[in-house]
Amino acid sequence: MRLVIDSADTKWIKKLVDYFPIDGVTTNPSIVVKEKKPFLPLLREIRSLIGDDKDLFVQTISTDAKGIIQEAESIVNAISGKVVVKIPVTMEGIKAIKHLHSLGIRTLATTVYTPMNAFLAAKAGADFVAPYVNRIDNLSGNGVKVVEEIEAIFRKHELKCEILAASFKNVQQIQQVCLAGAHGVTAAPDLIESFIKIPSISSNVEDFKRDWVSLYGEEHLTIEAE
């Protein structure tokens, strides 16, 4: 199952890649704008932090298929390593996904709100779909249920497309989509860190260390050969 950082903040990316088993980084126009850095240098900096073997997801801006295709080709030519082009599931977007698939350019269909959005994208040749879990919930829907239904459709009809669930407000939602059959999640850095940032863990570790030092007087385990 994939764990992808949903951010263009290079400080966070560097930290999370160092500590956790991260599979890639995903960006979108809003995320990139927050960093207030030149676009292409920022992407190349991210690439240098994650290496060429991890996926870097980059979104197009154009709203017409021709423009989307041109931007996608420019993106994959400008950035080294494994690149996935993110394309919204509009009619023009689906048309672009079809064409890019024929060129061998990997795509992720984003802004997915319904199972049928995902079905069309997968049929068009998208490698990934990204259902917006929390945004679906905010529209009085059920984001986790949508992920579950997409997984059922893909599995039943043998569609070779991965579900990379997105848009989360808490870890519970992420856990639920994992159980619902998502092939991966994209999450903000603070949410990824919170997977393990639990006060009880720190308290347990301190208890273990205190008990050890109380008897052996040393803060480190030292094994001497006999």
pLDDT of residue 168: 97
Report whether pLDDT(76) > 70: yes
**Token pair in block for residue 137:** 């919930």
pLDDT of residue 64: 98
Indicate if 156 belongs to the active site: no
Q: Are 144 and 172 in contact (CB under 8 A)?
A: no
pTM of the predicted protein model: 0.93
Domain limits of the chain? 2-197
CATH number (3.40.50.300, 1.10.10.10, 3.40.50.970, 3.20.20.70) of 2-197 reads 3.20.20.70
Q: Are 118 and 156 in contact (CB under 8 A)?
A: no
Q: What is the largest CA-CA distance in the chain?
A: 73
pLDDT of residue 226: 65
State what percent of residues in the chain have pLDDT above 90: 93
pLDDT of residue 119: 98
Please pick, among 11, 36, 54, 86, the residue that the annotation labels catalytic. 86
Report whether pLDDT(123) > 80: yes
The dihedral over CA atoms of 69, 101, 43, 119, expressed in degrees to the nearest 10, equals: 100
The residues near 91 (Cβ < 8 Å, ≥ 6 apart) are none
